[in-house]
């Protein structure tokens, strides 16, 4: 064979059986079906959204759709609601999920509970959409189990007290069901990566528990925690099925506004729907950039 | 190891109550179809409804198509990336992560706008739904296949097969596929769980499926709809249980987000 090592590195991680041929590389050809699929089902629809959000009713170039987007109070409210729910559930789900996974991994609970929690988190983070909405309606809806239990046993009428599950706070409570298990799944490897030597070393140097957390554990974990919360934010920002099955189109969210536009041109302007969708892609794109940035920072300490 | 504090138990208990209460509540709710006693009447009615068999059958069909196409698309691609084209890994991985960036509603919107008029009238063919589901399955399939290929010596297996006279198709079908059995099965079950319960694409692209059927049922028959969603949860649970059982001993995979 007699090929130089620099040639090997260029071609991949190991030598190929065939002698190198001069000319253009055809190595991408077997990847063609995959790329064609991605073009047809991801690139074309995305470009269509971007392109048409700059298109006026007569097909001319315009920024008008975005100008209109910022003037429509209903659409601004939809964005505000979506962002609020995502923010609330990212923070609450993040904090609760972190405490829970901390309790199970470092809090000294029996090891069996850890396996249990991880399995259930795997199920719960996938248990979303229609069944989740109905599970909560059966629990905390007007005739739900918990609602009727409270009124029959304690004589406390939940809905008389101003509580409703059909608003932003109620929906946040529902979203928590897939948010905190996701936090558990994402944070578990990070907590496992906290090495015992670090705690021991800081103790030998005289650090107390809080000092260890303040100066060692938290700085190491912070990028992972923030990254996971950003992921949670995006996770609920794009959610649709749960919210729709739950409130119909009563609650104003961006995803529900877009779906209403698909079911019938309710905005009376096709370009506006595209601008709405484009705005969503931008928010998600920024979210994912933030996530990958945090992941890079986190990987410095955690393996 | 330190002893568990009260707060740790308290948190865990709280988490478990929050986790199980809605499940118990929806199961009990589904048993109250007959007002005076608990019964499986709602389940009996659900199973005797022809709409159930039709929509569930449709979802099974979409799931089967999705799994086959996703496997045919992902396995050769990731195999080739491992074998010869490692520099394409970032772009391939990036594409498989797109479902987390483009929400289902947005993708459905884009697909309808792009393919609802000539030259490509894809919206009148179920290909558009299956294509959307394949996009949805990419992150899980890619992760599963990638992990599977990491665990075997791709190059040695390929070259051994080739020196015995195997062509590319034989290598993939008779050497790589069988070695990836466990990885592929977990990818398939996850895809199955996601597609069968999926609502967004099926409803917005207007194809019959289990998810939209459940929502439609809820409008007139609440007990039956909750019975259906309890069944659907059981199905998800079983699928994930199978995955966990298949993957025992292997590296844990954290699944990031399913169909919301």
Give a yes or no: residue B127 inside a domain. yes
Q: Which of A96, A130, A277 sits opposite B109 (nearest CB)?
A: A277
Question: Which residues on adjacent β-strands are paired with residue A273?
Answer: none
Confidence at residue A164, expressed as pLDDT on a 0 to 100 scale: 82
For range A129-146, the mean pLDDT: 87
Interchain contact, A45 vs B107, CB within 8 Å? yes
Interchain contact, B92 vs A34, CB within 8 Å? yes
For range B36-60, the mean pLDDT: 90
Q: What is the Cα A187 distance to its own chain's centre?
A: 14
Give a yes or no: residue B98 inside a domain. yes
Share of chain A above pLDDT 70, in %: 92
- Contact call for residues B202 and B129 (beta carbons, < 8 A): yes
Other residues' Cβ atoms within 10 Å of the Cβ of residue A297: 14
SS3 A61: strand
Interchain contact, A126 vs B240, CB within 8 Å? yes
What does R_g of chain B's alpha carbons equal in angstroms? 22
Give a yes or no: residue B204 inside a domain. yes
The per-residue pLDDT of chain B, averaged, comes to: 86
Render pLDDT for A165-190 as a digit per residue (tens, 0 to 9).
Answer: 888 898 999 999 999 999 998 898 88
Alpha-carbon distance of A188 to B251, in angstroms, equals: 13
Render pLDDT for A191-225 as a digit per residue (tens, 0 to 9).
Answer: 888 888 888 898 899 888 888 888 888 888 999 99
Render pLDDT for B63-106 as a digit per residue (tens, 0 to 9).
Answer: 999 999 999 999 999 999 999 889 999 999 999 988 888 899 99
Q: Is B89 on the interface with A (CB under 8 A)?
A: no
pLDDT above 90 for B235: no
pLDDT band at A9 (very low <50, low <70, confident <90, very high): very low
Confidence at residue A14, expressed as pLDDT on a 0 to 100 scale: 54
SS3 A129: coil
SS3 A282: helix
Alpha-carbon distance of B103 to A27, in angstroms, equals: 32
For range B126-142, the mean pLDDT: 93
Percent helix, strand, coil in chain B, to 5, is 80, 0, 20
pLDDT above 90 for A78: yes
Q: Is A122 on the interface with B (CB under 8 A)?
A: yes
Render pLDDT for A96-106 as a digit per residue (tens, 0 to 9).
Answer: 999 999 988 88
Q: Is A96 on the interface with B (CB under 8 A)?
A: yes
Is residue B219 exposed (0-12), middle (13-18) or buried (19+ Cβ within 10 Å)? Answer: exposed
Confidence at residue A93, expressed as pLDDT on a 0 to 100 scale: 94
Q: Which residues of A touch B109 (CB under 8 A)?
A: 45, 49, 258, 261-262, 273-274, 277
Q: What is the Cα A6 distance to its own chain's centre?
A: 42
Which two three-digit tokens encode residue A169? 């706070």
pLDDT band at B50 (very low <50, low <70, confident <90, very high): very high
Domains held by chain B: number: 1
pLDDT band at A13 (very low <50, low <70, confident <90, very high): low
Binding-face residues of B in 228-257 toward A, CB within 8 A: 229-230, 232-233, 236-237, 240-241, 243-244, 252, 254-257
Give helix B127-151 / helix B104-115 axis angle, nearest 10°: 130
Q: Which residue has the higher pLDDT, B122 or A78?
A: A78
Alpha-carbon distance of B218 to A253, in angstroms, equals: 21
Q: How far from A239 is each of A229, A243, B200, CA to CA, in Å?
A: 16, 7, 9
DSSP H helical ranges for chain A? 5-11, 32-38, 44-53, 64-69, 73-105, 111-124, 130-140, 145-149, 168-192, 196-204, 209-212, 218-237, 241-247, 254-263, 270-298
Binding-face residues of A in 125-144 toward B, CB within 8 A: 125-132, 134-139, 144
Angle B54-B56-B60 (CA atoms, 0-180°, nearest 5)? 115
How far apart are the CA of A14 and the nearest CA of chain B, in angstroms?
8
- Contact call for residues B164 and B130 (beta carbons, < 8 A): no
Q: B interface mutation test: which of A124, A125, A134 has the most B CBs within 10 A?
A: A134
Confidence at residue B119, expressed as pLDDT on a 0 to 100 scale: 66
For range B209-226, the mean pLDDT: 90
Render pLDDT for A245-298 as a digit per residue (tens, 0 to 9).
Answer: 887 777 889 999 998 888 887 777 778 889 999 999 999 999 989 998 998 888
Other residues' Cβ atoms within 10 Å of the Cβ of residue A165: 22
Confidence at residue A190, expressed as pLDDT on a 0 to 100 scale: 87
Give a yes or no: residue B180 inside a domain. yes
pLDDT band at A20 (very low <50, low <70, confident <90, very high): low
Confidence at residue A69, expressed as pLDDT on a 0 to 100 scale: 87
- Contact call for residues B25 and A135 (beta carbons, < 8 A): yes
Indicate yes or no: pTM above 0.90.
no
Give a yes or no: residue B35 inside a domain. no
pLDDT above 50 for B121: yes
Find the CATH number of the domain harbouring B67. 1.10.3720.10
- Contact call for residues B80 and B158 (beta carbons, < 8 A): no
Share of chain B above pLDDT 70, in %: 92
- Classify B130 in phi/psi space as left (phi over 0), alpha (psi -120 to 50) or beta: alpha
Confidence at residue B256, expressed as pLDDT on a 0 to 100 scale: 44
Range of the domain at B236: 51-246
Give a yes or no: residue B142 inside a domain. yes
- For domain A51-298, give the CATH superfamily: MetI-like (1.10.3720.10)
pLDDT above 60 for B1: no
Interchain contact, A135 vs B26, CB within 8 Å? yes
Confidence at residue A119, expressed as pLDDT on a 0 to 100 scale: 79
Share of chain A above pLDDT 90, in %: 31
Confidence at residue A302, expressed as pLDDT on a 0 to 100 scale: 60
Confidence at residue A143, expressed as pLDDT on a 0 to 100 scale: 82
pLDDT above 90 for A109: no
């Amino acid at each position: 064979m007699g090929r130089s090592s620099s040639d090997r590195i260029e071609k991949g991680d190991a030598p190929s059986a065939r002698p190198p041929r001069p000319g253009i590389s055809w190595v991408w050809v077997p990847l063609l079906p995959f790329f064609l699929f991605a073009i047809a089902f991801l690139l074309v629809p995305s470009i269509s959204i971007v392109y048409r959000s700059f298109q006026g009713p007569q097909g001319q170039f315009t920024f008008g759709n975005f100008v209109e987007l910022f003037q429509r109070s209903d659409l601004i409210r939809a964005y505000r609601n979506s962002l609020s729910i995502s923010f609330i559930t990212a923070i609450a789900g993040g904090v609760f999920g972190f405490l829970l996974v901390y309790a199970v991994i470092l809090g000294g609970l029996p090891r069996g509970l850890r396996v249990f929690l991880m399995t259930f988190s795997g199920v719960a983070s996938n248990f979303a959409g229609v069944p989740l909405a109905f599970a909560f309606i059966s629990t905390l809806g007007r005739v739900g189990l918990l609602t009727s239990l409270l009124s029959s046993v304690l004589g406390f009428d939940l809905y008389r007290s101003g509580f409703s599950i059909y608003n932003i706070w109620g929906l946040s409570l529902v979203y928590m069901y897939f948010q905190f298990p996701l936090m558990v799944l994402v944070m578990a490897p990070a907590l496992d990566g906290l090495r015992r030597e670090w705690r021991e070393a800081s103790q030998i140097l005289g650090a107390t528990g809080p000092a260890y957390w303040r100066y060692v554990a938290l700085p190491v974990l912070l990028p992972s925690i923030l990254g996971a919360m950003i992921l949670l934010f995006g996770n609920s920002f794009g959610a649709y099925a749960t919210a729709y099955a739950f409130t119909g189109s009563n609650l104003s969210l961006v995803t529900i506004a877009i779906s209403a536009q698909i079911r019938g041109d309710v905005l009376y302007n096709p370009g506006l729907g595209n601008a709405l969708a484009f705005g969503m892609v931008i928010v998600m794109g920024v979210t994912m950039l933030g996530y990958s940035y945090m992941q890079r920072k986190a990987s410095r300490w955690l393996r | 190891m330190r002893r568990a504090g009260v707060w740790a138990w308290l948190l865990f208990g709280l988490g478990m109550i929050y986790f199980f209460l809605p499940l118990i509540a929806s199961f009990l709710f589904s048993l109250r179809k007959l007002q005076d006693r608990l019964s499986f009447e709602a389940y009996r009615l659900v199973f005797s409804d022809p709409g159930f068999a039709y929509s569930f059958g449709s979802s099974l069909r979409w799931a089967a198509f999705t799994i086959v196409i996703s496997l045919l698309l992902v396995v050769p691609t990731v195999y080739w990336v491992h074998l010869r084209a490692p520099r394409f890994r970032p772009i391939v991985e990036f594409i498989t992560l797109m479902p987390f960036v483009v929400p289902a509603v947005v993708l459905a919107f884009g697909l309808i706008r792009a393919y609802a008029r000539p030259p490509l009238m894809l919206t009148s063919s179920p290909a558009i739904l299956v294509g959307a589901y394949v996009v949805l399955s990419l992150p899980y399939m890619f992760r599963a296949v990638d992990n599977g290929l990491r665990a075997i010596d791709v190059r040695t297996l390929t070259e051994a097969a080739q020196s015995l006279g195997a062509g590319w198709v034989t290598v993939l079908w008779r050497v790589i596929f069988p070695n990836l059995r466990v990885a592929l099965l977990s990818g398939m079950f996850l895809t199955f769980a996601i597609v069968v319960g999926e609502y967004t694409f099926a409803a917005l692209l207007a194809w019959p499926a289990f998810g939209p059927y459940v929502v439609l049922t809820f409008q007139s028959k609440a007990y039956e709809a909750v019975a259906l969603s309890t069944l659907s949860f059981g199905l998800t649970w079983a699928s994930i249980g199978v995955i966990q059982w298949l993957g025992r001993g292997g590296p844990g995979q954290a699944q990031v987000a399913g169909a919301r």
